[in-house]
Amino acid sequence: MAIRDIIVIGGGPAGFTAAIYLARAKLLPLMLNNRGCQLLLTNEVENYPGFKEGVTGVELVMAMEEQAKKFGAEILDKEVIKVDFEGEVKRIFVGEEEYLAKTVVIATGARPKILKVGEKEFIGRGVSTCAVCDAAFFRNKTVFVVGGGDSAVEEALFLAKFTDKVNLIHRRGELRASRIMQERLLAEKKIQVKWETEVVGVAGKEKLEKIKLKNVETGVEEVAADGLFLALGHEPTTGVFKGQLALSELGYLMVEMTKKGSNNHELWLSGYPTQTSVAGVFGAGDVVDFRYRQAITAAGMGAMAALDAEKFLTGRSSSY
């Protein structure tokens, strides 16, 4: 069985950018794309450079894929079910097939947690998991944010820049967010907090029109809603890597630049900032990044991982 120089696991901006860089370096990458990219669920993208009129998430992903193919990347829509990274040659299993590679870039991303009350049907049509991405589409609309942590508060505060009607829904009587974030939230007059309340249903035809709320004291009511933002956290797609690679407490891939004390000159010039706990295996995008979670930051990290992998393969010691 042939041993490839490199395999990219995953898709989205991180995976496709890595594939583009690696293909242009004549490394003939194989990309096992699990089609789990969140951009595919994003109706309109206006904050990705180069598209002044905006672009749909599907169009952006497809453009990245075509660009990767243009330079020679091989892309297979197959799901990785098992890996073995113990030896110098990395083994990747897809169904009954096995692929071998000297190096691997992991870009499997993260999935937003959802309520599972039917809102998945309206993602991109009134339901969103990213205020930074979609707030501009809800200017002067009535929007709701679900969650109680710092992320939920940040989403609500960001939305308040675009509309005067922001409702934060939290199932408990107090927030989990840090004290300073709570103070900022409660000081914002545009935001109303609905305590001890849950979203138990959604409704609409072509787009979201109403949500059903259940309050501990007042019971169930149906209210008009233009937008519903889910800020319940994310789950990194790292299940297949458990026991093979070091993961954080939240399940994200640990790479050299995310370790404490890793911000040093030597690492960034001579080391591999995106390398995981296993030599020759690199991580990029939302499977590593639990803070920014933007298409552009994922793409940037994909380029970093590709450059690290190329450097690892060629033994190049000079800095970039």
- The DSSP annotation for 169-206 comes to E-SSSS--S-HHHHHHHHH-TTEEEETTEEEEEEEESS
Q: Are 124 and 148 in contact (CB under 8 A)?
A: no
Q: Tell me if residue 134 is catalytic.
A: yes
Q: Residue 83 to residues 46, 99, 248, 309: CA-CA distances in angstroms?
A: 37, 10, 19, 18
Q: Of 133, 286, 289, 308, which residue is the catalytic one? A: 133
Closest CA to 194 of 162, 223, 159: 223
Q: Tell me if residue 133 is catalytic.
A: yes
**Strands of 197-204's sheet, edge to edge?**
197-204, 208-215, 219-224
Q: Of 5, 134, 286, 289, which residue is the catalytic one? A: 134
The two beta strands, 142-146 and 227-230, are: parallel
Burial 14-46 (b: 16+ CB within 10 A, else e): bbbbbbbbbbbbebebbbbbbebbbbbbbbebe
Query: What are the beta bridge partners of residue 3?
Result: 100
At 42, list the tokens.
Answer: 């994003």
**Region class of 196: left (phi > 0), else alpha (psi between -120 and 50), else beta:** left
Residue type, 102: K
Residue whose entry in the numeric block shows the structure tokens 């505060």? 157
**Strands of 191-194's sheet, edge to edge?**
127-128, 227-230, 142-146, 165-169, 191-194
Q: Tell me if residue 130 is catalytic.
A: yes
Q: Of 5, 37, 130, 308, which residue is the catalytic one? A: 130
Catalytic residues: 130, 133-134
